[in-house]
Structure 1
């Protein structure tokens, strides 16, 4: 794998050593060789009423790499036609030694991924490609804000497990009440569950951001995440270089994924 930084990002050598490095120069972008893997379903578990966890396995996972909690792999459900049916999903957990990859599926929609997960059984197979790259956000910021809807829950849960003791995490999650669960973390955690995108935005407006250097990560429906980013940057004065907002889905679109600027 190789790493790269934006063309206009200052290098560490060019920075005044008395000045903290800007957040965007501390983030590491890592590229991976894209590889398709034919994996077998090892186990299926219903985590909550509308979340299904699928554990995949196979020897081809020996060189699988997922360096960031918001990495995405392509799930390929029908590769027989000219236009394969594919969807992006976050690796919830992976174990190279055991050759296992865990994915979580929100069972609220009727798309190909939800349909496949609903019928998944041990012994079935699934083609998985990627991830093509990682956006590695350091864990040593003074605080971390993680926000989103149920589609962001697997990534946020993974991030909370990765944060070390002594860090501060503020989490805003728009998740139906019956799908809320304990989110283990060694970080000092301020977790706030909300109902609906309007409540998520209102919770963001009500926040008093901590002092020090923080990083915000947001993912969910496109319009809601664009507005959430605007609230944090324009209304709260958060550094626009210290935020990553992603549209994991878009209302009215069958397949959508983009990073919001």
Structure 2
């Protein structure tokens, strides 16, 4: 089946929901045919090689894509919201972060998608969700979709206490916000329940590898109970990260096959 053509979306509103997160509201007639989404669904925002938002389809060699989780989508309006982390490395910021900080109503941008990611295992007695701010929309949507009697943990690392937001959740899921300790350290400090968990984790590449190793070697977690992915890597562009992520995934799968 061919991939759907990119859609031209229009910024209808922007708001700073925390010191580090800008929420972009997108609308426009092209979103009327956008499919319904599930937790973890994502879109790719399209920029030219100069970092400017694309408003017309060009040769793919001239496109820089940046991947973002769909925070919410209401097809009846239609309206999509995307929460974008505002960050800089050595004073420089990437095209998506720069656009998020300056976008205003009436601006347009092409987006591709939606894509989907693996959800929680169908069989579990408790859950562990963990990630940094790039994973916050997915964690929020997964928590909202859980049965009310679910127990477990959601661990989220943020830049500051100002980035802590209210998240609807089952009563017995403990949400842990962390501003100082690394994500692998916080996850490893949890009181591990004896029953079978469903684990969903998305974070920085090095943190992902550390947590994955711990789950495999220390906790002996069955692979089918786990979704773990890196959403970004320090010091790498999305394109560079994508290549390294693919190589890492292939090596990990081969190690599982080798026993």
Q: TM-score, normalised by structure 1?
A: 0.80
Q: 1:152 maps to what in 2? A: 135
Q: 1:95 to 1:138 in 2, by over 3 A?
A: farther
Aligned residues: 230
Between 1:172-181 and 1:92-101, the stretch displaced more is: 172-181
Which residue does the alignment assign to 1:41?
11
Greater helix share, structure number: 2
1:225 and 1:87 map into 2 onto residues whose CA distance is: 20
SS of equivalent residue, structure 1 residue 135: coil
Q: Tell me which residue corresponds to 2:166.
A: 182
Question: SS at the partner of 1:230?
Answer: helix
After superposition, the Cα gap between the structure-2 partners of 1:247 and 1:182, relative to the gap in structure 1 and judged at 3 Å, is same
Question: Structure 2 stretches of 5 or more lacking a match?
Answer: 49-53, 253-259
Of the three residues 42, 50, 56, the one matched with 2:26 is 56
Per the TM alignment, residue 139 of structure 1 is displaced from its structure 2 partner at its CA by 6.6
Question: How far apart in 2 are the matches of 1:167 and 1:218?
Answer: 17
Tell me if the contact between 1:141 and 1:167 (Cα under 8 Å) persists in the aligned partners. Answer: no
Distance in 2, matches of 1:136 and 1:216, equals: 9
Aligned partner of 1:221 in structure 2 is 204
Q: Determine the structure 1 residue equivalent to 2:51.
A: none
RMSD (Å), alpha carbons: 2.2
Alignment partner of 1:243 out of 226, 229, 239: 226
Map of 1:21 onto structure 2: none
CA distance 1:55–1:84, change in 2 (3 Å): same
Paired residue secondary structure (2:185): helix
> TM (normalized to structure 2)?
0.81
Q: Residue 123 of structure 2 contacts residue 198 of structure 2 at CA under 8 Å; is this kept in 1?
A: no
> Cα deviations across residues 96-148 of structure 1 (Å, max 9, x unaligned)?
11111110011113111100000011111111101244434357632221111
| Cα distance in 2, alignment partners of residues 107 and 85 from structure 1 | 18
CA distance, structure 1, for counterparts of residue 21 and residue 173 of structure 2: 23
- Which residue of 183, 199, 202 corresponds with 2:185? 202
* 8 Å Cα contact 1:62/1:96 also seen in 2: yes
Distance 2:95 2:108 in 1: 15
For the 8 Å contact 2:10–2:107, the answer to whether it is kept is yes
**Residue 170 of structure 1 pairs with residue 153 of structure 2:** yes
Counterpart of 1:111? 94
CA contact (8 A) 1:33 1:132 kept: no
Cα deviation, residue 210, structure 1? 2.0
